Structure 1
Amino acid sequence: MSTIKIVVWDKVGNVMWGVRPWDEWSLRSQADMLRENPAGRPLAPSFAELFQDYPVDLRPVATVEELEAEIGDADFLVVHKNNVPPAVLQKGTRLRLIQHLGWDARGIPLATAAAMGVPVAATPLVNYLAVAEHSWALILTLLKRMPAQRAYMDSREYLTRGWGHLPGVPMVRDLTLGLLGFGEIARPMARIAHAFGMRCLYWDIERFPQLEPDHHVEYVPWEEIFRQSDVLSVHLALNEKTERIVGRREFGLMKNSAFLINTARGKLVDP
């Protein structure tokens, strides 16, 4: 059996983290895993343990120059948060698959891969619920004025002012949520909004009429989502068309009382 060569280009380090031997994990990481699952040690085999019966050559690279030096005889390429130059990818004449860690194939020159006949895979639905939950945590913290509520309780002012809620704390069900983008993160956002009884709007470069009834959302034009939303949550991918897509003009359309939540990419909003 011939050796299978896997080249990994991952500036974040998540790929190699998952294949390091247990002894190379930090003591804190070991403790975290064992605290969550005392029997978890066998669930973290190293790459060598996983593929001990197979002739696999794993080659991590850190720069585009190192990638160019290794890709020529590689069978598989794993990429995470790096941009592969088309000219470098073309040198991977033996590639059977390009795996991108993330919900899309950003950083991979898809036209070049298609011309080479090399399939490109992604890992959709990774962390999407965590981002949606975090977005809702931010929304509720702002709408319910949680820091002020905490200060009110700590000061014990309620003993003299009564138990009534602080002024300016609305009922969520009376508000409208706007979603910029309607991908895998925005869709659970819409389902949660429906559970609160909110009206939910969305805008995307593509409309999804088949999803609107089940997610209880309405599609509105670009300007209207800024005008009508009490909370506007950004869930767009960052590319040359969306960079700085939200700017002074869009903020001028929003209600004075509205909030904007951006758990996508900072460069989507023009500072």
Structure 2
Amino acid sequence: MRVAVLDDYQKVAHRFADWSALGAEVVFHHDPLTSTEELVAAVGDCEVIVAMRERTPFTRARLEALPALRLLVTTGMANASIDLAAARERGVTVCGTRSPVSATPELTWGLILSLVRHLPDEAAGMREGGWQHTLGGDLDGRVLGVVGLGRLGARVAAIGRAFGMRVLAWSSNLDPQRARELGTEPVPKRELFSTADVVTVHYKLSERSTGLVGRTELSWMRPESYLVNTSRGPLIDTPALVEALHEGRIAGAGLDVYDVEPLPAGHPLRTAPRTVLTPHLGYVTEGTYEVFYGQAADNIRAYAEGAPVRVLN
């Protein structure tokens, strides 16, 4: 059995599971396989592929170009970039892994604090021999707007309350009673964007939610408010955001996710003002990788034994 582990950017996947116990040939791929041709050339002879989140899409066309594939493992229990129906039709079993809830909310607050207290600018200034040159904002007594109050959004909201913030919540199907039980105030979408000092997005990407934060929503925000996205890039209209940043219509943006990943070197976001950009680090932690890769190996072992677990299709 030949196993391919994709998108191991940091070259660490080998550390987080006992791959040798599988009795298989395991190959780790460290660079993105962006085209179907690259993917087929690299893993076309593999029976098993381990995918890292949505980094490498598996469309119907790509699955058809991988006739040797029998098991596709994705980290996480949902992956919008895998055509589950096409996989099932081709006899490809798709399995997932659990995903710890803590890592992404923690990064969210890292981005918020970096924006509000200008940490990247001040850190760079220190290295250049300087001293204080910005005036930071406060969180205590300010308003946090949480767009999407699921597992991650609820955790971010709880931390906001610990900072002494008033927390507003909105989603298209928000349960007002649950929102109040979580210590948040359910409000209309416009009220959230126009009132919050920090808007943070924690929403599931779908056809309906693509562009959830567009020109209209950005126009509701105030010049002193910040936007943070650690969910999925296409939830925000990127050209509209870049325009708002250059025109000073919002105070800044903290982004960990993008329409195209890795973000192209010449992308306008890389030079947009008042931004803190991180390379999709939300889930990239030791603890998360222990779960992702440990359970991925378990999935392969269970499949080989004829009793697949955590099957998604």
Q: TM-score range by the shorter chain?
A: 0.5 to 0.7
Tell me, yes or no, if the aligned pair for 1:113 and 1:120 is still in contact at 8 Å: yes
- The answer on whether the counterparts of 2:4 and 2:50 sit within 8 Å (CA) in structure 1 is yes
| TM-score, structure 1 normalization | 0.63
Q: 1:155 to 1:107 in 2, by over 3 A?
A: closer
Q: Any unmatched runs of 5+ in structure 1?
A: 21-43, 158-165
Quick one: structure 1 residues 98 and 209, their matched pair in 2 at CA, closer, same or farther if it must change by over 3 Å?
farther
CA-based RMSD: 3.9
Match of 1:236, SS? coil
Structure 1 match to 2:106 = 133
Is contact 2:44-2:68 (8 Å) kept? no
Which residue does 1:109 correspond to in 2? Answer: 83
Equivalent in 23, 26, 31 of residue 58 of structure 1? 26
Q: Counterparts of 2:114 and 2:198 in 1: how far apart (Å)?
A: 12
Contact map agreement 2:167 2:183 (CA 8 A) in 1: yes
What's the % identity of the aligned pairs? 27
1:221, distance to aligned residue in structure 2 (A): 3.0
- Alpha-carbon distance between aligned partners in 2 of 1:146 and 1:208, rounded to the nearest angstrom: 36
Which residue matches 1:260?
227
Q: Is the 8 A contact 2:45 2:68 kept in 1?
A: no
Residue 259 of structure 1 deviates from its aligned partner by 1.4
TM-superposition CA deviations, 1:201-246 (whole Å, max 9, x none): 2233442557434422233333222122111012334554444432
Aligned partner of 2:3: which letter? V
Deviations 1:25-47 (A, max 9, x none): xxxxxxxxxxxxxxxxxxx7763
In 2, are the aligned partners of 1:233 and 1:262 still within 8 Å (CA)? Answer: yes
Determine which of 157, 161, 179 is the counterpart of 1:190. 157
Distance between the aligned counterparts of 1:192 and 1:103, measured in 2? 25
Q: Distance in 2 between matches of 1:6 and 1:155?
A: 55
Greater relative contact order (CA < 8 Å, ≥ 6 in sequence) = 2
Match of 1:123 in 2: 97
SS in structure 1 at match of 2:14: coil
Residue aligned with 1:193, SS? helix
TM superposition shift of 1:190: 0.8
Q: Which residue of 2 aligns with 1:204?
A: 171
| Structure 2 CA distance for aligned equivalents of residues 60 and 219 of structure 1 | 45
Instruction: Give the aligned residue type for 2:59.
Output: P
Q: Secondary structure at the match of 2:111?
A: helix
Are 2:8 and 2:28, in contact at CA under 8 Å, matched by a contact in 1? no
Aligned-partner residue type, residue 109 of structure 1: D
Does the CA contact (< 8 Å) of 2:69 and 2:92 recur in 1? Answer: no
Aligned match of 2:192: 225
Contact 2:122-2:132 within 8 A present in 1 as well: no
- Amino acid in structure 2 at the alignment position of 1:112: A
Shift of the 201–118 alpha-carbon distance from structure 1 to 2, 3 Å rule, reads farther
In 2, the alpha carbon distance for the partners of 1:92 and 1:234 equals 38
The letter for the 2-side match of 1:79 is: A
Cα distance in structure 1, aligned partners of 2:114 and 2:209: 28
The amino acid that maps onto 2:7 is K
The answer to whether the aligner puts 1:174 opposite 2:141 as a matched pair is yes
Please give the secondary structure, in 1, of the residue aligned with 2:102: helix
C-alpha contact 1:6 1:78 (8 A) present in aligned 2: no
Q: Deviations over 1:7-64 (max 9, x none)?
A: 32513446x74237xxxxxxxxxxxxxxxxxxxxxxx77633x34xxx4243567533
Residue correspondences, number: 223
- The answer to whether structure 1 residue 98 and structure 2 residue 65 are counterparts is no
8 Å contact 2:147–2:202 — kept in the other structure?
Answer: yes
SS across alignment from 1:112: helix
For 2:14, the aligned partner's letter is: V
Aligned with 2:7 (options 8, 11, 15): 11
Q: Secondary structure at the match of 1:185?
A: helix
